[in-house]
Amino acid sequence: MKENKIVFIGAGNLATNLAEAFHDRHIKIAQIYSRTEDSAKTLAKAVEADYTTELESVINDADIYIVALKDDALVELMPQIIAGKENALMAHTSGSLPLNVWPDSVKRKGVFYPLQTFSKQRKVDFLNIPTFIESNNSADNQLLKELASCVTNNVSELSSEKRRQIHLAAVFACNFTNHMYALAEKLLQQYGMPFSYMLPLIEETERKAQVLSPKEAQTGPAVRYDEKIINKHLELLSNEPEMQEIYKLISKSIHKL
């Protein structure tokens, strides 16, 4: 792949991990933008790039702009983001926004969506992360595919409709699951017990998910709808009405699935 001039708009969790993955593969990044100076400066230093906290100061002669912002911020800042960049490929990293969120004035529209949970504090290995790309023309589709292939072996072209469905599934598989961990931690902390007691259980659940369908792997009182155990658990949650409702709803869903 020829060397392209790349700019990152955003320096959050995803942008940090992706920019560092590019840098590790010797893909040069020209500039980082973030409205927060600490974030922009820290990421720019890590990937040996310039940085700015002003959208008006983002260079206009880059080949590719990777826009890794929250959905609302991308829409709100769209006029400033695209101004003066008529010849560039604009690629957002959102799982939920469609390709056509880019206005008609953007001639080269793209999506570069890595399906993973990212945190600045934890560096992930991109090698097998599913990364979904989309563009409004075949040349840029190929360009995005080549760029993604520099950091991962798992690249697919995917429509906006299917990407939205994957993003929804990921919220259930990851975000909601992690929230359940947080609720479990809260229950344990009430009795001075560490969350680490749960880790072997979580690890085995993850291993089973790799060899069994989630439905086949499901265990626990809700599968057989053991009312005696379920009612005891609900009694233990008598001072946590919101958690009670979550317990009831999830238990019914497990039993019906």
pLDDT tens-digit profile of 190-202? 999 999 999 999 9
**Whole-prediction pTM value?**
0.92
Over residues 230-252, the mean pLDDT reads: 97
pLDDT(1) > 70: no
Over residues 236-240, the mean pLDDT reads: 96
Average pLDDT, the chain: 97
Residues whose CB falls within 8 Å of the CB of residue 207, separated by 6 or more in sequence, listed in order: none
Q: What is residue 3's predicted lDDT score, i.e. its pLDDT?
A: 85
CATH of 6-158, one of 3.40.640.10, 3.40.50.1980, 3.40.50.720, 3.30.9.10: 3.40.50.720
pLDDT(71) > 80: yes
CATH architecture of 164-256: Orthogonal Bundle (1.10)
Residue spans of the domains in the chain: they are: 6-158, 164-256
Judge residue 99's burial from the number of C-beta atoms within 10 Å of its C-beta, 0-12 exposed, 13-18 middle, 19 or more buried: middle
pLDDT tens-digit profile of 162-201? 999 999 999 999 999 999 999 999 999 999 999 999 999 9
